[in-house]
Homo-oligomer: A and B are copies of this chain.
Amino acid sequence: MALIVQKFGGTSVGSVERICQVAEKIKGFRARGTDLVVVVSAMSGETNRLIELAKQVQGEPDAREMDVILSTGEQVTIGLLAMALKAIDVPAVSYTGSQVRIVTDSAHNKARIQHIDDANIRAELTAGKVVIVAGFQGVDEQGNITTLGRGGSDTTGVALAAALKADECQIYTDVDGVYTTDPRVVESARRLDKITFEEMLEMASLGSKVLQIRAVEFAGKYSVPLRVLHSFKEGPGTLITLEEGASMEQPVISGIAFNRDEAKLTIRGVPDTPGVAFKILGPISAGNIEVDMIVQNVSRDNTTDFTFTVHRNDFRRAEEILRQVAESIGAREVAGDSKIAKVSIVGVGMRSHAGVASKMFEALSNDGINIQMISTSEIKISVVIDEKYLELAVRGLHTAFGLDADTATEDHL
């Protein structure tokens, strides 16, 4: 019998009505003869309520105790969903992370799954039950309750699918799949039937926050077919797989991601000596600031310019650190800009197609958009542009790479 692991997020189980809707959906699946393990998050709002409560008691809540408190959110949902299933005559049973047992390391609030005992779940499936598992949580070897960090329920779903060798892990969300780009920006954005893990990782990390990166990495590592679907609308969703889909229809570019949350910092006239990059980024990293893009061009007159991007929230702090660095290494000046946006084209197809970059730059040029930074990877090209051109750039690229809904249909003819 086919085994599917399904994961429903906080919004999908955000009220009693929705929990009952999810139960009906599960009943439908069962009727088609599928074994089901269902992972759920806390009801939407509940995790934040618990965090607030904790912060009122202790400004920086103790990590172990925070997990004790947070894990109750999912625990309530599993009980309610199991009840909702029983209420419509579907045999069901709930499991907390520690009951399963989902064994993690002891890094409270951001624990990593180490192994999963599948014996209990297998026995319940054999007994004909739908097994409801609390997402986001586990237990360490000492029996302490742990949580996987925000979005950890996706990871729980994938990890269970891997442990149980499930046929598919389905992540139910409030979107009906992964799109070529954000439909709020490009009206003709198209739902993708398939995308590779690599592409999904690039899309996710660039701001298409449909799935948690860790879950996608995990699914890729263990070759778990992952499908993103809408909780309450019918449809095939988007399948995330290993295959590169070498068929003719596969477009060179799968999607366009963008991000408005970054700011750019440049340190100019840096003496071009070995170790200077470390001298610049060391203090930034020591200040716990994450750096995204880094660009350094060849030197001129024995000095070079060094540019990188950080989250906008860290902009002022990074700028301050950088001024001190500039002084100590004898650089000329520090410049910063927080009104930027990053636009990326992503697709495994670009590996085998030349001219993808030039096509991208041409499209931007046609729209009169100046490129401030460029960075590339195997399956991605990112550019930083003035924030005000973001929508223009995304729409132009979407059309240029044949991703618009109409064009796509023609492509398939």
Residues of B with C-beta under 8 A to A83:
54, 57-58, 61-62, 65-66
Known contacts A19-B57, A68-B94, A80-B54, A62 near B86 by CB under 8 Å: yes
Known contacts A16-B56, A57-B84, A64 near B76 by CB under 8 Å: no
Residue interface bits A159-175, CB-to-B below 8 A is 1, else 0: 00000000000000000
* Inter-subunit contact A53/B69 (CB<8 Å): no
* Inter-subunit contact A68/B78 (CB<8 Å): yes
Identify the closest chain B residue to A86 (Cβ): B62
Question: Counting CB contacts under 8 A, is A153 at the interface?
Answer: no
* Inter-subunit contact B99/A143 (CB<8 Å): yes
Chain B min CB distance to A129 (Å): 12
Chain B min CB distance to A254 (Å): 40
Distance of A235 Cα from B302 Cα, bound (Å):
81
Known contacts A16-B56, A57-B20, A99-B143, A75 near B68 by CB under 8 Å: yes
Known contacts A68-B94, A68-B96, A82-B65, A76 near B53 by CB under 8 Å: yes
* Inter-subunit contact B86/A75 (CB<8 Å): no
Distance of A65 Cα from B78 Cα, bound (Å):
8
Chain B min CB distance to A243 (Å): 40
Question: Counting CB contacts under 8 A, is A93 at the interface?
Answer: yes
Distance of A132 Cα from B91 Cα, bound (Å):
36
Chain B min CB distance to A119 (Å): 11
Question: Counting CB contacts under 8 A, is A355 at the interface?
Answer: no
Question: Counting CB contacts under 8 A, is A329 at the interface?
Answer: no
Residues of B with C-beta under 8 A to A303:
none
Pick from B66, B71, B87: contact of A58, CB below 8 A: B87
Distance of A68 Cα from B78 Cα, bound (Å):
8
Known contacts A16-B53, A69-B75, A99-B143, A64 near B93 by CB under 8 Å: yes
Pick from B20, B61, B87: contact of A59, CB below 8 A: B87
* Inter-subunit contact A68/B79 (CB<8 Å): yes
Chain B min CB distance to A109 (Å): 13
Question: Counting CB contacts under 8 A, is A405 at the interface?
Answer: no
Known contacts A57-B19, A143-B99, A76 near B69 by CB under 8 Å: yes
Question: Counting CB contacts under 8 A, is A72 at the interface?
Answer: yes
Residues of B with C-beta under 8 A to A68:
75, 78-79, 82, 94, 96
Question: Counting CB contacts under 8 A, is A50 at the interface?
Answer: yes
* Inter-subunit contact A66/B79 (CB<8 Å): yes
11 contacts between A and B (CB under 8 A): A16-B53, A19-B57, A53-B80, A57-B84, A57-B87, A61-B83, A65-B79, A66-B79, A72-B75, A96-B145, A98-B98
List 5 additional contacts besides A54-B80, A57-B80, A65-B82; criterion CB under 8 Å: A16-B53, A19-B57, A64-B93, A65-B79, A68-B79
